[in-house]
Each structure stands twice: as structure tokens, then as C-alpha cells.
Amino acid sequence: MNFDDIIYVLCLLSCVGAGKYVKNIEGESQRKLICTLFGLVVAFIVSGWHILHCIISAFLGALAVVYVHPSKTHLITFVIMFAYLAFFRLAHVFGFTNPPGPTNMIQMVLTLKVSGVAFEKASSWKKLKQREQELSGNKPAEKELVEISDYDVELQSIDIIGIFQYSFNYIGVLTGPYYRYRTYRDYFETPFKDYAPCVETTVENLKFAAIYSVIYATVDYIWPLSYALSPEFYERSFIYRFWYIWPAFLIFRMRIYAGLCLSECVCNMAGFGAYPEESDATNGEGPRKQYLHLKRDADKRSYNFNTIVNIRVKEVEKCFTLREGMKHWNVCVQYWLAVNIYRQFPSKKYRTAVTLLCSAYWHGFRPGHYFCLLGAASYVTVEDIWQKLVAKEATGLKRLIIDYMFWFAKSCIGYNYLGTAFMLVSFSNIWNFYSSIYHVGYIAWFLMLASGLVLTKRKTTISVKNK
């Protein structure tokens, strides 16, 4: 770990420790103010004066959310926030000093938060207009009238201060998780945090964070990624070079797992994102059922932190396909991408590709991000073809064998092969490494695609003839 990493981890741990104090502050306004000030202090510690990037972009985005017409606010805010993200990463081109890595993480989360508010506001405005038209008789009502909540109305009058406080709330300011403005509002307006199992959940997550950290440190010491860039590495056998993708991506996974677990701990200790079981809270979205009436007897409820789950490690490791694995990885960001990009994009044919392209852009402009994330889109296409060919109708032992073949392919190519490109970052590093193992991942992918298309066509022809 370098010095920036140490400071970063210490700041995360301080945020975890602050949770018990913050939760007990009386007065909604005072608690909001302290959470915002603490968030700004933490951001300044890891960023220095580069924090001005975050403040300026949040202010510009907030102006768009507040003053642009609700029918267009999501589009304008999205463009502003993602354009500033590009400027932020290309600061050196304009003569500015490149911000440190932790500031990049803050800016990434900020981009999702501010543009997410705009998407929420636009969606609520559409619901309000539709309800208004139905009640006035200008539009035929559906089977049921559009359901409108107080939150939908509240969003239409959200102000710049509210967005700023939400953006720099110390909970999630460093690494997320992404959460909706509604989740932020509920934290201050509901008593759920007072009865949630905060300490128990935090301790449990800290245990896992410690385990992931030990594995990360051990594997990184024995098989460092830097060795894969050294001349000595390319003198080793092909089998060794190909095998190296396994420890290389294991290092990356354990580092990410530890960081995401710690960021969940920040929420857990403060009781942030805790909802009663009856509310049917889901990752990123929060409650899907009516829940405000549960405040009356909040002390009699059982609670969970489903809203702020960052990653489901067991499912990531055990699932059989990459498509399923992506759903369990960085879950709240996946929710943002699904709701605001995938479902909003007009062409169903290109939704997956556009969503992964947006994800790659959000992660950064380095070639490794595009090799990995756009490669994942291609891999999922092949995976889907073969799922329909061999797995869809298989049962029993045959299905089990097929599932584990998919699991091995997912782990080898979907995770390790493509994930290594994400870590190698530059085109030259990626090309040298992939060339040393003769691009076997891409060759295997091409052969599986070609044979899958041929077999699919043959199966379709036989099916037509039988009819």
C-alpha cells in the first residue's frame, strides 16, 4: 500500500467510527450540517485543494437539477456531470495538476448522485403530469391511477443546498455505495436507524474486510502484478504466464472486496440505509412497499441493510455465468446503470452495449477499462448463445456438469483474462501480456462464437423441418 492508500483506509475507518456519534445527534438540521462538514473534511484530507473539482461540478449539476425544466433536467444534468468527469480526468491537458486517485473515486460517486437526483426528479414529474391528465379526463386512466407519493412532490422543489448536503454527506463520500436521495432523506426523517442492528452488522462486515485484506496482502506479496510487467516474466513458460491471470485478478478482487465492505461498514455503524423487513427494501432502490407508517412502532420491527449492499461476494464467486456475476458486483452502481441507462435507452438491441460503454466511461479513459468492460459485453453474448444451446433444457447430472463448465469459463476468461486487462491499464502493457499468451482468450471467444452461431442456425433449421 502506498501513502495515499493508507490515508484513504484511515479516513474510511474514521467514518466508520463516527457513525455511533452521528446517529445520536439530535435535530435533523444539525445532523445534516455535521454530516456535510465531516464529508467535506474527509474529502479535503484525501484530495487537498483538488476538492474544488468536486465542489464546482456538484454546484453546476445542482443548478441544472433545480433550474432546468423537469422534462429535460435529467439529460442536461447527465451531460454536465459526465462532461466534467472527462475534464477532471484530462486536467493535465488543460495545464492543471492531475488529482490524486481518492479524489477520482469521490468524483465518480458524485457524478452518479447528482445525475441520479435529476433522473428521479424527471421521473416524478412525468408521474405527476400523468396523474394530472388522468384526473382531468384528458387521458384515459390505466387499470389503476398512477401512484403518487409525497416524495414525488418533494423532489419538484428540491434546492441547491439539499443537493449539496446529499452530495457531500460523509456516508459514502469516498467509495459509495450509491444511494438515492430518498434514502438520504429517510435517514434524517425516520427513526429506523435507532433500532437497526448497527454494531452487529458492522462487526460482521469488518471481519470479512479483514479476511479479504489478508488474502490481498499475501497474494500481492507472492505474485505481484508488477512481475507480469518485468522482462523476467516473459522468459517463463506459456503455462506459467497464462496461469498468472488467476493470482493477478485475485489481488484485484480482494482489494475491491475489502474496500466495498469497509464502505458498507460506514453505513452500518450510522444506521444509514436501514429499513424494516416489511418494506421490502432492495439494493440501491430502497423500499418497494409503503413503509412510512412503520415509524409508529419502529421499536417492534426487524431491520436489514439491503438498500446499501455494495457487493455479494459469495454470489460473485459461486455463480455460473458472467451475466449473473455482474449483477452481484458493485450492486448499487449496477442499479444506477440499470435504472438510468439500460431502461432509459430507446433501442433494446443496443441497451447492454451502451450500458457497459457508459460503465467503462465512468470508470475511466484508460484502455484497460474498455478492453475489460466492452470485452465483457462480447463474452456475455457468447455465453447467452451457449446457454440456449446446451444448458436451457439440460437437467440432473448433465446440467450440473454444464453449469460447472460455464463457471470455469466465466472464471478463466470472463473474470481473470478480461480483468487482467483492467489492471494492466495501458494498451502496451495489455498487448505485451496478451501476446505472451497468444491471445488465447480472444481466440477461444471467437471459436465459441462462430461454432455457437453455426449450431444455433442448424438447430433452427432442424426445428423448422420437423414442423
Catalytic residue among 104, 306, 310, 330: 330
d(CA 226, CA 229): 5
Pick the catalytic residue from 98, 304, 363, 432.
363
Is 330 annotated in the active site? yes
Separation of alpha carbons 68 and 74, rounded Å: 9
> Contact 298/368 with Cβ under 8 angstroms?
no
**Residue 84 CA neighbour count, 13 Å, CB half:** 24
Can you tell me the distance from the alpha carbon of 51 to that of 236, in angstroms, rounded to the nearest whole number?
A: 45
Query: What does the alpha-carbon distance between residue 146 and residue 144 come to, in Å, rounded to a whole number?
Result: 6
Exposure of 404 by Cβ count < 10 A (0-12 exposed, 13-18 middle, 19+ buried)?
exposed
Question: Do residues 295 and 278 lie in contact, with contact meaning Cβ atoms separated by under 8 Å?
Answer: no
Q: Among candidates 250, 244, 298, 260, which has minimal Cα distance to 276?
A: 298
Nearest to 188 by CA among 21, 18, 22: 22
What number of CA atoms fall less than 13 Å from residue 284's CA on the CB side?
21
Measured CA distances, 62 to 68, 115, 375 (Å): 10, 9, 35
Torsion angles phi and psi, residue 241, rounded to 5: -65, -40
Spatial distance between the Cα atoms of 187 and 287, rounded to a whole number of angstroms: 13
What one-character-per-residue DSSP string does 244-257 give? THHHHHHHHHHHHH
Query: Which class for 384: exposed (0-12), middle (13-18), buried (19 or more C-beta within 10 A)?
Result: middle
Nearest alpha carbon to residue 124 among 156, 77, 78: 156
Active-site annotation holds for 283: no
Please name the helix (run of DSSP H) or strand (run of DSSP E) that holds residue 286, with its range, or none.
strand 286-287
Query: In sequence order, what are the residues at sequence separation of 6 or more whose Cβ sits closer than 8 angstroms to the Cβ of residue 361?
Result: 82
Active site residues: 330, 363
